[in-house]
């Protein structure tokens, strides 16, 4: 196995979709290209749903056993996370909406768990699954732009929904067309509408794009570094030992990265929801 093939193999999703011979799993880049839009990344879907289910199960299990007395270690840990999220919502969200805090909690915990998969040795799960005939396996869902865009577009849809709900269709349209350029002259006001709309629409569309690409780019780069360090193993004893030391150092640093990326995605979601509830 060449270094190039090793890297390409680890960055290829287990893909399922329609081909000329029927629906099935892709075995090459040509198969994936043939599937087109309907290509589904089965590994990203599986791990993201599995980690989401783990979050729901763990928090609901703690909630059922919660006590008003001295909390145990598990309850204290969950309460610490909830208080952390609640403080961020209280400081960044000025309106009244009981959906925002649970949304922020879900986003933070779910993305953190997906990012945490980056600390699993890059060869472990793919090697185990290869024993049962599964050729490709990417276990970090947040390194898949389909996943990050799915989450950011969901937040964007909620932002548009609450904007229209709180301000009305006319109020939301006015936000996109009546500023930053304003005038009391009716002719100038009409002339400013397309200019304002272009500027505001670009800013509006940039929100889900930057929201998703920030998470994807950081996690993809982190996973790539883990894969590149793994190439050092097997070359020589010195390179293998050096690779082990580098993996450890990068993993320790990456704990901060995966937490920070989950936090940033959550904070931006809260800010976007606050903007959807604010009246100009």
Token couple for 226: 């883990």
CB atoms within 10 A of CB 155: 20
Q: From start to end of the chain, where are the E strands?
A: 15-19, 22-25, 40-41
| Helix orientation angle between 237-277 and 186-230, rounded to the nearest 10 degrees | 160
Q: Which residues of 17-30 are buried (b: 16+ CB within 10 A; e: fewer)?
A: bebeeeeebbeeee
Query: Which residue of the set 97, 154, 214, 242 is catalytic?
Result: 214
Catalytic residue among 115, 142, 218, 230: 218
Can you read off the two tokens belonging to residue 132? 């049962």
**15, β-bridge pairs:** 41
Which backbone phi and psi does 248 adopt, to 5 degrees? -65, -45
* CB under 8 A, 24+ apart: contacts of 35-38: none
218 is catalytic: yes
Q: Please, are residues 145 and 212 in contact by the beta-carbon 8 Å criterion?
A: yes
Q: Point out the catalytic residue in the list 210, 235, 236, 278.
A: 210
Residue 236 falls in the annotated catalytic set? no
Respond yes or no: is residue 61 known to be catalytic. no
Query: What positions carry a catalytic annotation?
Result: 210, 214, 218
């Amino acid at each position: 196995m060449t270094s190039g093939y090793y890297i390409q193999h680890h960055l290829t999703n287990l893909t399922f979709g329609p081909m000329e011979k029927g629906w099935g799993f892709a075995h090459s880049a040509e198969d994936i290209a043939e599937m087109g839009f309907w290509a589904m990344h089965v590994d990203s879907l599986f791990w993201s749903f599995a980690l989401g289910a783990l979050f729901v199960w763990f928090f609901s299990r703690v909630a059922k056993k919660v006590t008003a007395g001295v909390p145990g270690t598990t309850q204290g840990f969950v309460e610490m996370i909830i208080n952390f999220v609640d403080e961020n919502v209280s400081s960044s969200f000025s309106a009244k909406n009981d959906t925002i805090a649970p949304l922020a909690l879900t986003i933070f915990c779910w993305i953190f768990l997906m990012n945490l998969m980056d600390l699993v040795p890059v060869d472990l799960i793919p090697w185990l699954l290869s024993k049962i005939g599964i050729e490709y396996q990417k276990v970090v869902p947040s390194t898949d732009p389909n996943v990050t865009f799915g989450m950011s577009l969901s937040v964007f849809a909620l932002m548009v929904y609450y904007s229209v709900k709180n301000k009305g269709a006319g109020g939301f349209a006015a936000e996109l067309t009546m500023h930053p350029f304003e005038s009391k002259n009716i002719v100038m006001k009409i002339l400013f509408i397309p200019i304002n709309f272009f500027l505001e629409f670009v800013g509006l569309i940039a929100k889900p794009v930057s929201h998703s690409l920030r998470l994807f780019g950081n996690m993809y780069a982190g996973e790539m570094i883990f894969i590149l360090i793994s190439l050092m193993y097997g070359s020589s004893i010195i390179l293998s030992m050096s690779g082990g030391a580098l993996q450890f150092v990068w993993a320790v640093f990456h704990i901060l990265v995966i937490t920070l990326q989950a936090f940033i995605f959550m904070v931006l979601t809260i800010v976007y929801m606050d903007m959807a509830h604010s009246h100009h």
